[in-house]
Amino acid sequence: MNRSILYVLAFLSLSVVCAPVHGATPRNPYLGRWALTIPGGGAGWLSVAEENGHLSAHILWGGGSVIRMASACMDADTLVVTRLHTVDRKDKEGKVLYKDTFTETIVAKVSGDTMHLTQIRPRFDGKGVNRNEFTGKRIPPLPPKPDLSNTRYGKPITLFDGSNLNGWKLTNPRQKNGWSAEDGVLVNRPTQQEGKRHVSYGNLRTEAEFEDFNLKLEVKVPKKGNSGVYLRGIYEVQIANTRDRGLDSHNMGGIYSRIAPTASAEKPAGQWQTMNITLLDRHVTVELNDRVIIDNQPLLGCTGGALWSDEFKPGPIYLQGDHSAISYRNIVLTPILRREETVIFEDRFENRLADGWTWIRENPQTQRIRRGALEIRVEPGVAHTVRNALVRKVPFYRSRGKYAIDVTVTNTTKPTQQYEQAGITWYHAGKPVFKLVKELVDGELMIIPGRKPMSSETVQLRLVVDGNDFIAQFRPNAEGKFQTAATGKLPVPANDHVSIQCYNGPVEAEHWIRFDDFRVSQLSE
């Protein structure tokens, strides 16, 4: 007996044996929402619930919308769900003679928070079945609705400067790029030539990835236009010409197939429209043309076209470009600061220094505040002779918790001098005893301590202090998760100060460092 026949028999057996379960209890390990990685690596989603003593299931399979499955039931400790596919059977002239209905079966087993699934799908030509295995992860319960009035924001980031596509790339480099910068506008023109083979155009995403944020932009949708703004690459805010079509999750401003707008605020096609979107704790708020149309609503899972199904992974902003022409401008993202951090002190270096700083060996000619950052020239010298070291008393008692000191460091010129460096220095009893810096060592830029390679111009440095223990961390381009460079011990407290500084610069050239977003926070345990 060949394998195809075995698969068909297994499929038929499941269809016959399985029966709905009555009285399922909350302890049923299948109940809940699952983030799927479907065959081929795409994003999917499965929800299993109990309704009137019976199981029900909804699924998202790659693209499109969430759909209800035809059936869901238990076969002993195995979950079995089905969905139906209707196929037109036509004659040689293309006339539909009749319809065939095929039943696709998905069989699932749970182990803790992991689901192992098998898809058994008949081939529509009636010659065998396809069998695919894939996995899912349980999605944790949604947190309470966040208090947006107490949200703290970082510094706004201009994602598109109007002149070029720097910082953007296609989600799939094999597709054709229809995007360009024209007169301050990000334009997509996915043109097709009549009589020619259809050209597949690409979606455009930021190279940077983000966690929670506020996103503001303007968009102009032509007649019959269709695009989308994906938040962290997983939740699509629908962009489409749907004026006067009613309130639907597939219309302008809705979370595609998930959340319908509560009000109509769309302008006619061809007019610029404003969007103000806040994503926080898996809740979303959407303002369209200064009117709230989705108010802090929970997101149950990814939407069709998501890059992945993991809702806790940092991700890009991506703009759908495979449907129609579209125009965007004034795209600005403002990160939301993590709530597990209580900011004790911060200085964004806007116009002047915050109170409490002092200079060591100040040279006013080689330091300045410009464009929202502190710029210091990297002068010759070593730790004990450094010039323009900016110092302040550590604003916490080490015994009272866990703290983080952050600063973003950018080289405006490529370092050339051996041991040329910039970053954070810890002072103990008036002397420098520890540094977390980006440093040129033997021709290679690296994070010290730890000697971690670091080639990007910008890096966010984080010194975590927990009692006398430290963790030296960094994030290239101030994006994604922090990486640990080294751990160790600090001296016992004695007039602790922290400094941002740079030194070992060349004599014959001007090298400058930009220090940005200095912050001291208390971390939750």
- Judged against a pLDDT cut of 70, whether residue 14 lies above it is answered with no
Q: Which of 446, 394, 455 is nearest to 423 (CA)?
A: 446
Per the CB < 8 A criterion, the answer to whether 144 and 151 are in contact is no
What distance in Å separates the CA atoms of residue 181 and residue 163, rounded to the nearest whole number?
Answer: 6
Q: Comparing 14-18, 278-282, 362-366, which segment has the lowest mean pLDDT?
A: 14-18
- Judged against a pLDDT cut of 60, whether residue 189 lies above it is answered with yes
SS3 of 349-395: CCCCCCCCCEEECCCHHHEEEECCEEEEECCCCCCCCCCCEEEEECC
Whether residues 431 and 394 share a domain: the answer is: yes
Whether residues 130 and 192 share a domain: the answer is: no
CATH number at residue 470: 2.60.120.200
Whether residues 380 and 514 share a domain: the answer is: yes
**Burial track 256-280 (b if 16+ CB lie within 10 A, e otherwise):** bbbbbbeebbbbeeeeebbbbbbbb
CATH number at residue 216: 2.60.120.560
Per the CB < 8 A criterion, the answer to whether 155 and 334 are in contact is yes
Whether residues 311 and 369 share a domain: the answer is: no
Instruction: Please tell me what DSSP assigns to residue 506.
Output: -
Within-domain flag for 85: yes
> Could you tell me which residues are beta bridge partners of residue 156?
none
Q: Which residue has the tokens 């400058």?
A: 512
- Count of domains observed in the chain: 3
- Judged against a pLDDT cut of 60, whether residue 178 lies above it is answered with yes
- pLDDT > 90 fraction of the chain, expressed in percent and rounded: 80
Q: Quick check: helix, strand or coil at residue 150?
A: helix
Q: Which of 239, 234, 199, 207 is nearest to 322 (CA)?
A: 199
Per the CB < 8 A criterion, the answer to whether 273 and 221 are in contact is yes
SS3 of 152-172: CECCCEECCCCCCCCCEEECC
Element holding 12 (H helix, E strand): helix 3-17
Q: Which pLDDT score is estimated for 27?
A: 65
Within-domain flag for 175: yes
Q: What is the pLDDT of residues 310-346, one digit of tens each?
A: 999 999 999 999 889 999 999 999 999 876 778 899 9
Within-domain flag for 182: yes
Within-domain flag for 356: yes
Q: Comparing 19-28, 298-307, 357-366, which segment has the lowest mean pLDDT?
A: 19-28
Whether residues 354 and 291 share a domain: the answer is: no
Domain range holding 484? 341-523
* Cis-peptide into 449, omega within 30 deg: yes
Q: What is the pLDDT of residues 269-318, one digit of tens each?
A: 999 999 999 999 999 999 999 999 999 999 999 999 999 999 999 999 99
User: Residue type for 345, please?
Assistant: F
Residue that is last in its domain, among 85, 113, 138: 138
> Could you tell me which residues are beta bridge partners of residue 63?
none
What distance in Å separates the CA atoms of residue 227 and residue 217, rounded to the nearest whole number?
Answer: 14
Q: Which pLDDT score is estimated for 478?
A: 86
Whether residues 306 and 408 share a domain: the answer is: no
Whether residues 251 and 133 share a domain: the answer is: no
Terminal C-alpha separation, the chain: 60
Within-domain flag for 268: yes
Average pLDDT over the chain reads: 91
What distance in Å separates the CA atoms of residue 335 and residue 333, rounded to the nearest whole number?
Answer: 6
Q: What is the pLDDT of residues 87-116, one digit of tens each?
A: 999 998 989 999 999 999 999 999 988 999
Mean pLDDT along residues 375-403: 93
Whether residues 312 and 369 share a domain: the answer is: no
- Judged against a pLDDT cut of 80, whether residue 6 lies above it is answered with no
Whether residues 45 and 171 share a domain: the answer is: no
Whether residues 320 and 347 share a domain: the answer is: no
Whether residues 44 and 11 share a domain: the answer is: yes
Within-domain flag for 329: yes
Residue that is last in its domain, among 114, 138, 162: 138
**Count H helices, E strands: the chain?**
1, 37
What distance in Å separates the CA atoms of residue 280 and residue 405, rounded to the nearest whole number?
Answer: 24
Within-domain flag for 274: yes
Residue that is last in its domain, among 104, 138, 172: 138
Q: What is the pLDDT of residues 450-495, one digit of tens each?
A: 999 998 999 999 999 999 999 999 999 888 789 999 999 999 999 9
Q: What is the pLDDT of residues 404-438, one digit of tens each?
A: 999 999 999 999 999 999 999 999 999 999 999 99
Model confidence pTM above 0.85: no
Structure tokens at 480: 């994604």
Beta strands in 191-308 (DSSP E): 204-206, 213-220, 226-231, 235-240, 272-280, 283-288, 291-298
Within-domain flag for 129: yes
Q: Which pLDDT score is estimated for 357?
A: 96
- Judged against a pLDDT cut of 60, whether residue 350 lies above it is answered with yes
Whether residues 348 and 314 share a domain: the answer is: no
CATH number at residue 93: 2.40.128
